[in-house]
Each structure stands twice: as C-alpha cells, then as structure tokens.
Amino acid sequence: MAQAFKEFTTPGAFAVHFLDDDFRRNFEERREDIARRFPGGTENQLEHLTLRLELALEALEAGVWEYHPETGVLLWDRRMRELFGVTEAKDGPTFEIFRNSLHHEDLSIVENALSTSLETGRKLSGQFRITRPAGETRHMRVSGMPFQLPDGETIMVGANWDITNDVAVQEDLRASALQVRAQNDRLEAAHFEMERLMLHDALTNLPNRRYLDRFLASPENRGRRAACLQIDLDHFKEVNDTDGHAAGDEVLKLASVRLFNNLPQANILARLGGDEFVAMIVGPDAIKIARSSAAAILAAFGKPLVVNGRAYAIGVSIGIASADDGPSSALLVAADKALYDAKGNGRGRIRER
C-alpha cells in the first residue's frame, strides 16, 4: 500500500503519518468481514473477540484510551492509569491530566498531531515523553484512529505502551557506536601520525629517504621529463665543531626553510641526512626550472643564517641531472656525480650532467 507521511523529528518526536485512503477502505472492509463472520453478534462470540483483544493488549502491555474532543471526555483502562502513574486519581482521567503529564518539549507537538489526525481522519502514530507524578520521565508509543459514531460524533480510539527500555537500549547503542567511531578516529589519526613520522625527517619535517624512494618507485611520473638537484650545505661541519650540534640543528632548520622557499615548483624536497638535500622536478620544463631554482638557491644562501643572534655563512653546492624517462635512482646517481663535480671545483657552485 503506497503511503506518504510527514515526520515530526524534534527530541522525543511525536510523529503523525498521513496514510492514503486505502487505509480507511481496508479498515471498513475488515469491520464488515467481522460482521459477516459473526452474524448476529452473539454474546459468546463477542466474549471471544474481547478475550482475544485483551490477550493481545496484555502481551503488548498496552493501555487503551478513548477521547471525545467535543466534550473533553477521556476514558482510560487500568493499564493506561498504570502507565501514567495516576492509579490513585479520584477525579480522572481527564484530558487535563493527560496534557499536564506531557513533557514540556513534546506538549505542542502532541497537541498539533492529535488535532491534525482528528481534522484529516488519518491514523495517529508516534512517540512522546511523559512525566509521572513522582517526577519520572517515561517514553510512550501511541497508535490511534479517528472514528465516527452513529450519532455523527468523531472520537479518537487508540493504545499506548511504554517504550522507555527500548529507547534506553537505542541510546546505549548510539553511544557505543559514537564511542567506537571516536576510537577508530583516534586509531586512524595515530596511524597517520606514525606514517608521517616514518616518512619525514624529525628535525626539518621534510620528506626523508624512505619517502623519496617511494616517490621514485611510483609509476605515476614514468616517461615524463624530470630533473634532479642534489644540494649540499658548505661549511656546515664548522658550525657543529664550533658551537655544537644544537646550533647545527637550528642552522639545518633555517636552511631547509630557505631551500623550500626557493623550490616552489619542486615535486619533492627531501633531506637525505646530515646536510644533504635532494629535489625532484617533473614536467616538460623540468630542466629549465631546475636551473633557475639552483641559481635562486645559490643567491639566497649568499646571506648568512642567523641563530640566536649569531650569523653563519653557509653556502651551497648543487648538482643537476635530467632524464626523459621520469625520476629514478639512476637520475639521483647522476645528480650526485654533478654535485661531486661542483664541490671539487671549489664549492658554492652549480654543475650539471
């Protein structure tokens, strides 16, 4: 049976489902079928039907109610009184007792849903919260249907049952799911951090040799023009020998930033260890970019690196190599040989192979 519905989804929502006209026709057909099966409505047959209904309601632990909107009369069975905690009430139930029992956040939602159901003749179905006289909050499920009496009066007949335990289980499941998700997020973050630490230099935060090896092994850049710059810091050993490794570490950090800033088009700038760095550039203009970047780096290191107020004159020697088949270990070796040539010619130079 096709159906369209509108859900009220505020906290403790009371939902009204607007079913199509087939529901009413089916309801009338079921009622007529009962009349045909039990012609005359004998007392025994009525008792049998009543017993079946009572057993069903008992199994569901549901209370039955009947509401007369024209007079405000509200009829509850024993179970309804128990559900709402008003078994001792002498002047009830009344609609005001019901209304005053509703949780303040659900009051207007329930009233609107009830009015809509009475106005449209559609089924009422949803859940809401109540507050018992002792202050306890309970979650209720409701199912009801408007019904027209022979005298023309429209009343509402329905049933309520307590779903507090079900709601608690659902909330526990949601909380557990959120906890598992948070734990997975923490594990993923830890895994990401471990991966980052494994592939990056702890001092400069640049990619390390393992990262470079992965880059060289990647098939993505195969067959493309590539250029490699092997870079060595000149006179760095004197910093460690004179002022210690702490000063040397600070010089390396500043040097890595200066290199990075002058290699904006490099695909990767890695620290291989000590004062050795390597950059890879991939693209049709790779060798052109490599040459201009090398010149910019050489000029940038013409200015000293200042650590704790002390200036260190650190130069660079650069070897360049290029290839048409992409980044590779062979390209790295060729650039290393070019670097050897640069350092052999007096340092502070650029050589290309």
Q: Which residues are catalytic?
A: 275
Q: What angle is formed at CA 134 by the lines to CA 129 and CA 136, rounded to 5 degrees?
A: 35
CA dist 49 to 28, 43, 46, Å? 17, 10, 5
| Rg over CA atoms, the chain | 41
The residue whose two tokens read 């079900």 is 166
Helices (H) and strands (E) in the chain, counts: 11, 12
- The DSSP line for 96-149 is HHHHHHB-TTTHHHHHHHHHHHHHHT--EEEEEEEE-TTS-EEEEEEEEEEEE-
List the one residue out of 301, 163, 306 whose CA is nearest residue 231: 301
Closest CA to 301 of 310, 293, 291: 293
The token duo for 111 is 């009233």
Distance from the Cα of residue 140 to its chain's centroid: 30
DSSP letter string, 218-262 = -GGGTTS-EEEEEEEEETHHHHHHHH-HHHHHHHHHHHHHHHHHT
Cα–Cα dist 307/309, whole Å: 5
